[in-house]
Structure 1
């Protein structure tokens, strides 16, 4: 596996990890090479998903399968704090974003796959939700309809990383949420120190944390999945104007790779801590 390792600590100290990692295709099915088949695509990704090298998360695994179907596609992925990634992509510093749900605010600056005036979820990477991760036996709770056990006093609010779309959803259902955390490291540190009552995390991120025995011993997921959404690879307006045919091919290849049996199994195992094979992307 190709890549340069970069400690998360230096990510936050220097503002960005200047890591460009060429994902190596692992699929066995090959698309026919055409005259326009070679293409370098520069994406940023939420650093909470981990470093690209040797990353078996759903997003990175699926994009390796996309490369298996499009051998000439070279992906360069830079992990950044989420708000910084979105901002840089919107300003054209990257060609697009790896794994972003649709919001009207994002769609004003980034281009998503569309069909009949609506975002085309058939071209998604997968569906993911958020979860409430809390200390075991904690009072903050989500029952599928409303939040209870949160408040404005110190240590009673929920925490979320800045830029997460789940914040408005949670507040509308009764939660007090602090979204001042610039990256997942500061959010999780606040949870460990008891400065927040729970953390609103992407489903995959929480599943990864709970594979660590120390996290699994002390923390738990409260209630059902929150706000399941389709996640995409939106692109910059500049790239869409310059390369619409290649972008359309990218989205179509993502759709094809998502439906392979190998990815379906990987997705289900990754999102269930290795316990289930029936979750569909």
Structure 2
């Protein structure tokens, strides 16, 4: 009887310690990293890493502005694919090594391309914009892009929700240039309405790692677990099996 009671006590303690990591992602699919209806590469990496620590993961797709606000307020424990911008670091913790951002523990890359309607005179050469007479468009809530454009002292507008919407705005002359995440831009350019009418400029606007950005207070409560999850993300992504698995998760 004593052994049974001890076993039940240990079982209950283990159940009490098991937790669910609440992670918000964007409400629009962002291949190959996240999808609203199934796991992409980033979701798989986070889920596998958390499972190794005995935790489960619940992903919630919401508009990116709401995702950031939710992490800041504690509604969500983490943002699924966050860049380590100064504004994000005010309320999120990111994996560090010797005080510097550890790119080896990233979920993937945030690569932003600049595109325009063919024949548009405005340009971007990788260093500066020329010929601009209207704000540069970018997706709502993409803080890293806004920060970059602010750094370049360029007027910008994040009122558009989707790449599709921005491409239509370009074709109707409501803007000259727009910026968007590479995979989403290339996917949209496969549509006949844009394929021959929109062109991507050679130089990217921005390249940055995407991480599991964790609410500071939550990290303070579970530092060892979060650090272990970050390490596991790196281990899975750098494993020999990942090169075969990643393409299967990209669609």
| Distance apart, 1:171 and its partner CA | 4.3
1:89-110 alpha-carbon deviations (Å, 9 max, x no partner): 1110001001111112211111
Match of 1:161 among 118, 133, 139: 139
Which residues of 2 match residues 267-278 of structure 1 at below 5 A?
none
* Structure 2 match to 1:96: 78
Aligned residue in 2 for 1:208:
187
Equivalent of residue 24 in structure 2, options 44, 62, 69: 44
Question: Is the CA contact (8 Å cut-off) linking 1:62 and 1:263 kept in structure 2?
Answer: no
Q: Could you tell which deviates more after superposition, 170-179 or 118-127?
A: 170-179
Q: 2-side partners of 1:192 and 1:80: how far apart?
A: 28
- Residue 5 (structure 2) aligns with: none
Q: TM-score normalized by structure 1?
A: 0.69
**Does 1:148 pair with 2:130?**
yes
Bigger Rg, which one: 2
Deviation at 1:55, TM superposition (A): 5.1
How far does the alpha carbon of each residue in 1:47-77 deviate from its partner, in whole angstroms, 9 at most, with x for none?
Answer: 2335422354x4335445546x738442211
Aligned counterparts of 2:195 and 2:245: Cα–Cα separation in 1: 21
Match of 2:117? 135
The equivalent of 1:11 in structure 2 is none
1:184 is aligned to 162
The alignment status of 1:74 with 2:56, answered yes or no, reads yes
Unaligned runs of 5+ in 2: 1-13
Residues in 1 aligned to 2:198 and 2:44: alpha-carbon distance in whole angstroms: 27
In the alignment, is the contact (CA less than 8 A) between 2:39 and 2:249 conserved in 1?
no
Tell me how far 1:180 sits from its aligned partner: 3.6
Deviation at 1:195, TM superposition (A): 1.7
Q: Given the alignment, which residue of 229, 240, 243 partners 2:219?
A: 240
Provide Cα deviations, 1:167-195, integer angstroms capped at 9, x if missing partner. Answer: 232344464322344x3376455345432
Deviation (angstroms), 1:238 = 2.6
Q: Larger relative contact order (C-alpha < 8 A, sep ≥ 6)? A: 2
Which has the larger share of helix?
A: 2
User: Which runs of no fewer than 5 residues in structure 1 stay unpaired?
Assistant: 1-34, 275-281
- 1:109 pairs, out of 76, 91, 97, with 91
Seen in structure 2, the aligned counterparts of structure 1 residues 222 and 52 have a Cα distance that, compared at 3 Å, is same
